[in-house]
Chain A
């Protein structure tokens, strides 16, 4: 029998804390004081954060105008696809009671538009969007090629259904002077989207870069003609296009459309007064009982005007407090009967 040098038996066991299961351990003991203090602290913290959040959310300004029905005639026109080439504009005046301080963002908002639909969200070709191979229409299925076989660029249902209303905000200083509020279409995308995920094919001349491809069936113009004002903002790196391509999480969503360029009158933000949205109504939503809105909003550190997060914190805090009160009451009522082991 082999034995170790100490003369201990050969099959002697290692007496280490791990192997003997004697590791020092902290035991989570839900004792009254610990639980109560824990609950109180959590509650207080949540309430505090909640109030801060609510206050900061309150400080934001937001204006939302649903123009589905306001522009009913246009909507009716768009119900029928035959009228796709008929232009329809619509002006929506509104009054801004307070100045919107700081950066103001303009969003469009769609209701019941299922961008997160599985088959819909699949229908795109990333390699095409990256400019690697614009002929690659991978998952685009029906929207991959025109009936005569020309690949569509950008292909897929997402690109095809791109939001194509034009919204222009004008500041009505008075009844005669309408100032077009300067808006930036740049900087509304993620930097990585604009410079990495979406790339035009390597070519100096955009139209020739896209030669051999067709425009998506619902698009009035080719992809290199998306922005007539800014030549750089064309092709696959068009900001509006990139924003649209980032599929929204929920069927009701808003997407950043423009941001305020803070010059002239608007260095402080949007001053109070009369405004109007001049909308070129292209995007058909009434066909599937959808709606669309335009939103002007400012942001704070905690996001937009949504009060929910603040409320969640507050409610959680309150509930925690309540729970701890309940527990305390029960503890006090049954104090003498506890902590004896074993009790039966």
Chain B
């Protein structure tokens, strides 16, 4: 139900777009803003309420009626026809059919000729009608949803339909209701004026988003009264930017307040956690942002189709040529017999013969009609049908279905399936695409001390293990007790949480846990792997220590904390982790029920002040929706009236000024109550334990997974985020109990600042703290400059450099780094900043810029606390997939916003970069430098190796430019190993910007083309799309972009094929994509199997179509030589018209949908087969013309043989023509038989059906009507023919003769010069027939079940072995492996078939030189198994055990480059150490014994 509106709205369509376009035009005329006033008020200048209505209606504002239908009953026929005639082919066919109505040139019965066109048009029209009707139905349903709208007549909210809502109406929405239009939030039942919405319908994100009541309305004392709403809202015109909304509200007293995104509730979202809200409709219906965002399905034209259209034009040319030839021939013929008074001459009505010229013109037109089949009317229809079926089949593929997230592949674009088989360049995002976008806290450094979190690493390792063998692995046991012991030392309060996660663990593999999380749906961040963090004992001890000492200090009543600087840093570090975020705390038991609501209701009201504070309207006043006024209110408590007066000019303090008394009351009350409330008293801390039921596990919902990871990490250190209000955060600490921090400000994260900050008042010290969290580059520059004079400064410096060192280490490990810093503000500083900030916040124009400046003012002079390293793990099978795609001849570029080091490490981890290859790093800081660099790189690359004269490059380019080449082999080594596959290119965002300039792009492209892989770091979304566009247009290559986030949308849209990952980061990428896959690894199958199939199927089908029509038309053409080129046809017009449509269409459709030229397992194991699609082997001009030549030959044979056989007999035209038709049909079927690679029962059936249909129709038609449809008059012809032996004889020999050459060539070429595909076919033939057992018990995906566990998954798995319900079956290729070998069964299956070719590919053989892998596997099972297990499980091991040193050597040139150089260089030895003891990214090091054992 919730999804329905979105689903319906998802079907917006071109019609809607047109309407929108019109509207847009209109909008431009009107100006840039829209003014909305309440509908309840009489509009200015009109007193009569009726007038008001009229006036409102006269406004060109859309009402809320959803109308996605294109047609009305009346307009359907003309409109639909109009749309259909947009297609040129339809116009052509109708033109031809209409030509038949001209008596002089007609070839067929006009009605009959019109029939197929009408049929095609009718089918399309019916399809459109049906679609439109279903749209109408869903529209109707949505339009009649109910909603509470304020009625002027009844002075209360009444139930209305959605469609009746108009702009300016007041709507009241209750919890869990779907928002009917874009509504400006004016009032909320929430005391803070907040409202939570879930935008799952809009972007798929399930976390709650917070919306605020418009400033000025939150201060209202009584319930919001719509009748009293006199303000005028001015906002921007409807647009589709979901993330932006600007406007201002003008109150009747002339005051203005800004409106922004936070005040707007978007249509399609759901109200959560808030009892009721009231708002005014700003945009309705098709002007809502949700609907404006729906561009509907995308129509792209595939490369193959473009090529086909070109060939269609050739066919048109051919048609014209044939007709011209005939016309000239006929003219000559007429001239020859002119005046001869031949008996067969048919004079015109006036008795004179036709002049040759006129006759020729007539003949030309008639010929065009007769030969119209050359451009087949069924071609486009058939292609559409085939594509729909192909899409359906791809949809259905079990192996493209991700069990963990319950997402299948989605094809959103229907007509570019075959492009998947021709992709040459893949542009991939990194985060969330190559990696899981699951942030795992890995390690951290606090005040210069690194905490390696070895146990945590181990834990993650065991999870990784659990992925593959999904057993309760023994090593995990070691982490569990430890965790348990820690848990016991922790406060008892944490126990339930631990219990919860334990139970998760017991339930088995991560996958299973994730599936369980799918069940409970509501959180994206719920796997135990992400939640359970094993604390580092050292750090944990420190945390305990400082907690204890703090608690002691508190008991002793020392608010000032006597902590050592380090311990203070530790404490602040965790407080920052817990507080500095926007995580929402929920309870899984009551999804979407915020904890705080319950807590607030349960905690007793203690004092009058407390009561007042909580329930009096003054609370509304003081803690209104905007942070500004709230903090202003707060600060007044502290700073007294002096400051108040200083700030009083600010409009945000309006409420305070007007009602000073309650504010002050709160101020005093707040002071008293804070002592009790803020968690000072230890007994309060224990309060939740006293509750009867155990506290359910808390769940953190974060907008970005990093945040949640950090909060979970802090929780592991028993610093638990308990609840969060918008102005308060409660943190639970073991000895201190619950601390409540007042949040004075939150400066959200943005990509420019790359950091976020919260301003809080510390409950223990009452100091104002700013906690900032952000990218290291952003934070490091903002730290306080510390003098190296005093010891403290020196210490700070040391800490800083150490932290920087560890940051680099983290980056090298591929961890995402975040720096945590704090700043202590004095009250005065704060007050000063606050004033500026409030001004910025309330300004209407240029607000963003001012806020940015304000944030910068706050975030300076920071004190560095520490840094965290978060691991974003590679998705399953990414390295293997990349290796496969590489082998398939695809160039993979990674475009990421991450920093260079992280990106490169991920690239190494996923085998995009190889340690055995050179890497060109391009970092330039100016245009000229970039140009120079490119030149150097180019000549280097052209020189073909590292022997080039490039060593001087860095020197010449100056200090701001550097280029690093890192030949990992010494030159001699390179010489022996031969020329490698080419270097890889790493380029950063700035250089990329220079390289994308017009003057340099060619060079850049030329360089990039020669590189094995390209890695663009720090690139913006725009750059991403520019790169894709560049490659696409300049190289004329087929590009595919894959990404998961909003930042990839532009790239996805630009690429030929856009693939979205329906992962964790919302749905924007998916919405923009043509295909949405659940995982990156699915790309392999999507491209290499489905892409190849679709391409080869469609290519063959299109070729066959051309062949068929040319051959058929050829028959008619040859006949012209024997009938004086008079455009007469020996084939009956019925056959001629319906041949394509009825008799010969079905088999080729089946072949086009189902043919598998190479079975999927071979396609997957032999990635080089994909190249056939890239190089357009199946369908290129040459094949087209060969095909046409063959068609000409076949038609000649099929004409001549019957001609000669019936020459000099008394056969009449149709007695001769019918065998010719039969022969043609048989030849087509046999030809298709040769071209079809797999013959299933469907092929047999349809071929038989086609032949049968032809004969049936012939019999029935020949028997039905003795006089109909002149000129053909085939009465009883077929019946006579079947009694004639010659008919059979000729039908036997002709197809054989016609197809003999093709068969001969195929046979010869297939065995003498076989293409890769043919070889693969042979391989498939020889390999065991395991695949073709349909629905039989296929070997399940080798994921052994966990311990007997009567969970729902289990029941699914248990059916797996036995048949079609086979949940877990993957390609049964794997079933080859002897399941008895424990070593192999414990493998991740994806690795098995990949590893061998991969390794061989890596070891320098050109792909394809090896013996059949199959054979290799069979020949030496022992050996291969070992190999498999080795590479399958321990690929990372091999990476860093072998080329470890090399990678370091690579680092040194990098160090020159990156500016981090000195640090890196400096820390090389340490780094080496680290690397050895630490694990590499994707999978931690396996103890070698593990493998041997």
Which residues of A approach B to under 8 Å, CB–CB? 1, 3, 6-17, 19-32, 35, 39, 42, 46, 49, 53, 81, 107, 109, 113-124, 126-127, 129-130, 132, 138-139, 141-143, 157, 160-161, 190, 192-193, 196-197, 218, 243, 246-256, 283-284, 287-290, 301-304, 306, 308-309, 312-313, 316, 319-320, 323, 327, 330-331, 334, 338-344
Contact = CB atoms under 8 A, between A and B. Distances in A.
Nearest to B1284: A303
Given A287-B341, A312-B1205, A344-B1409, A28 B1236 contact: yes
Given A121-B1128, A249-B1212, A302 B1321 contact: no
B345 to A, nearest CB: 8
B874 to A, nearest CB: 24
A344 to B, nearest CB: 5
Interface string B1197-1217: 000010111111111110111
Given A1-B518, A15-B1366, A25-B1332, A118 B1127 contact: yes
Interface string B1345-1380: 000000111111001000111110100000000000
A157 B344 contact: yes
Contacts of B1271: 118, 121-122
Given A9-B515, A122-B1271, A197-B1267, A117 B1290 contact: no
A157 B1204 CA distance: 27
A35 to B, nearest CB: 4
A142 B346 contact: yes
Contacts, number: 323
B347 A142 contact: yes
Given A15-B1335, A24-B1334, A197-B1275, A118 B366 contact: yes
A11 B344 contact: no
Given A6-B1355, A29-B1321, A316-B1300, 10 more contacts: A6-B1356, A12-B401, A247-B1213, A248-B1211, A249-B1130, A250-B1206, A253-B1209, A290-B342, A302-B1285, A342-B1168
Q: What bracket does the count of chain B residues touching chain A fall in?
A: 35 or more
A32 B1266 CA distance: 52
B1211 A341 contact: no
A107 B1411 CA distance: 71
Given A6-B1365, A17-B1334, A304 B1289 contact: no
Interface stretch (B727-735, B908-916, B955-963, B1238-1246): B1238-1246
Given A53-B1289, A288-B340, A341-B1322, A334 B1312 contact: yes
A303 B1284 CA distance: 9
A286 to B, nearest CB: 10
Interface in B1170-1216: 1201, 1203-1213, 1215-1216
A30 B1296 contact: no
Interface stretch (B392-400, B422-430, B752-760, B1388-1396): B392-400
Contacts of A323: 1300, 1304
A344 B1408 contact: yes
Contact of B1289 (A49, A115, A132): A49
A107 B1409 CA distance: 71
Nearest to A338: B1311
B1239 A28 contact: yes
Nearest to B1212: A246
Contact of B1412 (A121, A139, A341): A341
Contacts of B1306: 30
B1325 interface: yes
Contacts of B344: 113-115, 117, 120, 157, 161
A20 B1308 CA distance: 33
A289 B1216 CA distance: 26
Contacts of B1356: 6-9
Given A8-B1365, A116-B1130, A250 B1207 contact: yes
Given A15-B398, A248-B1210, A301 B343 contact: no
Contacts of B1322: 29, 31, 339, 341
Contact of B1369 (A15, A53, A143, A252): A15
B335 to A, nearest CB: 13
Interface stretch (B403-411, B630-638, B762-770, B879-887): B403-411
A114 B1213 contact: no
A21 B127 CA distance: 27
B1126 A118 contact: yes
B340 A287 contact: yes
A32 B1239 contact: no
Scoring B1128, B1300, B1363 by chain A CB atoms within 10 A of each residue's CB, the highest score goes to B1128
B652 to A, nearest CB: 44
7 contacts: A22-B1332, A30-B1306, A30-B1307, A31-B1322, A107-B1210, A254-B1208, A306-B1205
B406 A11 contact: yes
Across chains A and B, which 4 residue pairs bring their CB atoms closest together, nearest first? A17-B1334, A7-B1352, A25-B1238, A118-B1128
B191 interface: no
Contact of A113 (B343, B1311, B1319): B343
A309 B1289 contact: yes
Contacts of A342: 1166, 1168, 1316, 1319-1320, 1408-1409, 1412
Contacts of A343: 1319
Contact of B1312 (A1, A25, A218, A330): A330
A114 B1237 contact: no
Given A28-B1233, A344-B1408, A46 B342 contact: no
B1308 A121 contact: no
Contact of A306 (B1208, B1307, B1324, B1363): B1208
B1466 interface: no
Contact of A23 (B403, B1240, B1355): B1240
Contacts of B1296: 42, 46, 316, 320
Interface string B277-300: 000000000000000000000000
Given A15-B1365, A124-B1270, A247-B1213, A117 B1126 contact: yes
B1124 A117 contact: yes
B1286 A302 contact: yes
Contact of A308 (B348, B1207, B1365, B1367): B1207
B1332 A24 contact: yes
Nearest to A7: B1352
A293 B1271 CA distance: 28
B1037 interface: no
Given A1-B406, A288-B337, A251 B1123 contact: yes
A181 B233 CA distance: 112
Interface string B1133-1175: 0000000000000000000001010001000001010000000
Nearest to A49: B1289
A246 B1213 CA distance: 8
Contact of A309 (B396, B1211, B1290): B1290
A6 B1359 contact: yes
Scoring A20, A248, A319 by chain B CB atoms within 10 A of each residue's CB, the highest score goes to A20
B826 interface: no
B400 to A, nearest CB: 8
A14 B1156 contact: no
A30 B1317 CA distance: 13
A176 B1406 CA distance: 97
B398 A142 contact: no
A327 B1270 contact: no
A117 B397 contact: no
B801 interface: no
B1267 to A, nearest CB: 4
Interface string B507-536: 000000001001101000000000000000
A26 B518 contact: no
B1316 A27 contact: no
Interface string B249-274: 00000000000000000000000000
B1210 A327 contact: no
Contacts of A327: 1304, 1307-1308
A26 B1238 contact: yes
B1121 to A, nearest CB: 10
